[in-house]
Structure 1
Amino acid sequence: MNIDHIDKKILDTLQEDGRITNSDLAKIINISPPPTSERVKKLEKNGYIKKYVALVDPVKVGVTCFTYVEVTLVRHGKDAVVRFMSSIVAIEEVLECHHITGGADFLLKIATKDIPTYEQFIIQTLTALPEVQHLKTLVVLSTLKQETKIPIG
């Protein structure tokens, strides 16, 4: 499916406000509500819109420690990589997992209550994975920008 400038405007608007009414969205993109609704459904069906979520303030729910962890695996064969990835996707504290190039194999973004909780997470969860050889932690001191909106152009 190719998307046109109207679809891009829909995606751009929904990234700003996923709860916007179809009527308000139609006004913004300058077409009537029925074709607006059809376009949104088509974008959902074709995977352009993965899901709608609420962005929760982590501090208000007691999550104050964010870290990035570079993970180096013991082995780099397909089976070891697949086992590691299967384990990681099931861990709630792992917000992001990226297979990367460079000195490490994976980059994880981890969210925990605080540093002691993070320490226990490392000891009990990450180092318990048999595929893990080495971890390097980068602790987030402050966040200057955190954007969820993808630039569509």
Structure 2
Amino acid sequence: MKLDHIDRKVLDILQSNAKITNAQLSKEIGLSPAPTLERVKKLETSGIIQSYHAQLDRQKVGLGVTTFVMVNLVGHKKMVTDSFVARVEAIPEIIECHHITGSGDFLLKVISHDIASYQKLMLETINEIEEVASTQTMVILSTFKESKVMPIP
């Protein structure tokens, strides 16, 4: 699907405020409500807009520790990778899983209540995945920028 300047504007606005009403969105992009709604539906149907989410304050819901975990697997065969990914998908504390290049095979973003619960998760769950050869953890001390808004080219 080819995006025009109005589609890009819609995407920018919805990324910043997905709760905006269709009436307000139509005012901001300069179209009437019906064509605005058609554009949004077209962006959803095409898969460009995949979903809408509430962004939560991790601290306020009791998730005070965020870590990145670099994982090396025991091998690089498709079966090993697929099995590892399937196991990771079943662990709710792993909120992101990226297949990477460099010194590791995967980079996981993990959230936990505290260090003790993170340690338990690592010892009893992640390190027990048989495809995992080794892990290296980086604890996030503070975050200065964390955006879900993508720059639309």
TM-score range, shorter chain: over 0.9
Distance 2:139 2:16 in 1: 29
Counterpart in 2 of 1:33? Answer: 33
Aligned equivalents of 1:5, 1:83: Cα separation in 2: 42
Partner of 2:15: 15
- For 2:146, the equivalent position in structure 1 comes to 146
Q: In structure 2, what residue type is equivalent to 1:17? A: N
Deviation, 1:90, is 1.7
Q: 2: distance between equivalents of 1:51 and 1:124?
A: 32
User: Which ranges in structure 2 are unaligned for 5 or more consecutive residues?
Assistant: none
2:13 is the alignment partner of 1:4:
no
Query: How far apart, CA to CA, are the structure 2 residues paired with 1:103 and 1:47?
Result: 33
Name 1:46's counterpart in structure 2.
Answer: 46
Take 1:53 and 1:138, find their aligned partners in 2: how far apart are those partners?
27
Q: TM-score, normalised by structure 2?
A: 0.98
Q: Which residue of 1 aligns with 2:57?
A: 57
Aligned partners of 1:147, 1:111: CA distance in 2, in Å? 17
The runs of at least 4 consecutive aligned structure 1 residues that moved more than 3 Å come to none
CA RMSD of aligned residues (A): 0.6
1:72 aligns with: 72
Distance 1:89 1:47 in 2: 22
Task: State TM-score, norm by structure 1.
Answer: 0.98
- Between the aligned partners of 1:89 and 1:151, the Cα distance in structure 2 is 28
Q: Deviations over 1:35-80 (max 9, x none)?
A: 0000000100111111111111111111000000000000110100
Q: Could you tell me which amino acid in structure 2 is paired with residue 117 of structure 1?
A: S
Counterpart check, 1:137 vs 2:128 = no
How many residues end up aligned between the 2 structures?
Answer: 153
**For the residues of structure 2 that align with 1:117 and 1:82, how far apart are their CA atoms?**
27
Determine what percentage of the aligned residue pairs are the same residue. 47
Q: Which amino acid aligns with 1:10?
A: V
Q: Secondary structure at the match of 2:60?
A: helix
Between the aligned partners of 2:129 and 2:105, the Cα distance in structure 1 is: 14
